[in-house]
């Protein structure tokens, strides 16, 4: 049986934790939209803005660069078996910010125009949620499984150091802490973001 090293366990856990944080905010945003759709009392729109701010910045500045730089690069070095999947995931990394911007614009239109501007907002949020959930699932099912097969102990030590932030300059650590604070704020005030609360799909 393949025994996981401490570095592999730790790096894998960090990636999964970061995915859980992203999922929580994505589910919260979806909850928000569905509450409006069902005519329930909508949460404070400032929460929605905070979620979008998080989804715009955290993947772009914290999570995706680490995946590209440490995990994907090491995997490419060890095997070509995952090249197509890695290229697709990198393409999706580049798409994410544009999708969030689309939601920001649709939210602004909804705030100005009201109910008639709601359907495009709902559509973009649902599409983004499916996009982001499928992206993380692909990483966990294909990339982490492949990583467990192909990467060496030396690779895992480097990936663990990269994901733990050991190589981060001070500013990198500060950015991470800022997003951690923003995440706690969102979780404290937004319904639908609790880890026990899952949507059906
Ligand atoms: Fe990713
Ligand atoms: Fe990821």
Q: How far is the CA of 86 from the centre of ligand 1 (A)?
A: 9
Distance 2 CA to ligand 2 centre (A): 24
Q: How far apart are CA 5 and CA 3, in angstroms?
A: 6
Candidate from 39-53, 86-100, 165-179 with smallest mean pLDDT: 165-179
52 Cα: distance to centroid of ligand 1 (angstroms): 17
Residue with tokens 């919260």: 28
What ligand is nearest to the CA atom of residue 85? 1
Looking at residue 195, its pLDDT comes to: 44
pLDDT value at 110 more than 90 = yes
The DSSP call for residue 67 is I
- Exposed e or buried b per residue across 174-190, where buried means at least 16 C-beta atoms within 10 angstroms of its C-beta: ebbeebeebbeebeeeb
Across all residues in the chain, what is the average pLDDT? 88
Please give the backbone phi and psi of residue 168, each rounded to the nearest 5 degrees, phi first. -65, 135
Tens of pLDDT along 43-94? Answer: 788 889 999 999 998 998 889 999 999 999 999 999 999 999 999 999 999 9
Q: What's the 56 CA to ligand 1 centre distance in angstroms?
A: 13
Task: Name the residue with higher pLDDT: 133 or 57.
Answer: 133
128 CA distance to ligand 1 middle (Å): 14
Q: Given this model, what pLDDT does residue 194 score?
A: 58
Q: Which of 49, 60, 40, 62 is nearest to 186 (CA)?
A: 49
Residue 67 C-alpha to ligand 2 middle, in angstroms?
Answer: 7
Measure 184 CA to ligand 1 centroid, in angstroms: 22
User: How far apart are the CA of 41 and the centre of ligand 2, in A?
Assistant: 33
pLDDT digits (tens, 9 = 90+) for 2-40: 567 999 999 999 999 999 999 999 998 998 899 899 988
Options 3.90.70, 1.20.120, 1.10.3470, 3.40.50; CATH for 6-189 is 1.20.120
Q: What is the pLDDT of residue 79?
A: 97
CA of 138 to the centre of ligand 2 (A): 9
Whole-number pLDDT of residue 100: 96
46-55, 141-150, 159-168: the lowest-pLDDT one? 159-168
């Amino acid at each position: 049986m393949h025994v996981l090293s401490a570095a592999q366990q730790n790096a894998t856990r960090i990636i999964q934790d970061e995915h859980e944080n992203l999922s929580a905010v994505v589910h919260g945003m979806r909850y928000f939209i569905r509450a409006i759709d069902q005519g329930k009392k909508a949460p404070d729109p400032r929460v929605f803005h905070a979620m979008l701010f998080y989804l715009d910045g955290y993947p772009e500045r914290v999570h995706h660069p680490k995946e590209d730089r440490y995990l994907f690069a090491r995997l490419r070095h060890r095997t070509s078996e995952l090249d197509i999947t890695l290229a697709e995931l990198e393409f999706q990394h580049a798409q994410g910010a544009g999708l969030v911007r689309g939601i920001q614009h649709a939210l602004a239109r909804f705030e100005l125009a009201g109910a008639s501007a709601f359907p495009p907002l709902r559509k973009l949020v649902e599409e983004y949620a499916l996009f982001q959930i499928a992206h993380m699932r692909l990483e966990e099912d294909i990339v982490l499984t492949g990583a467990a097969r192909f990467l060496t102990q030396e690779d895992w030590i480097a990936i663990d150091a990269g994901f733990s932030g050991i190589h981060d300059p001070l500013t990198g650590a500060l950015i991470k802490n800022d997003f951690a604070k923003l995440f706690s704020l969102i979780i404290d005030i937004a319904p639908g973001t609790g880890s026990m609360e899952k949507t059906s799909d």
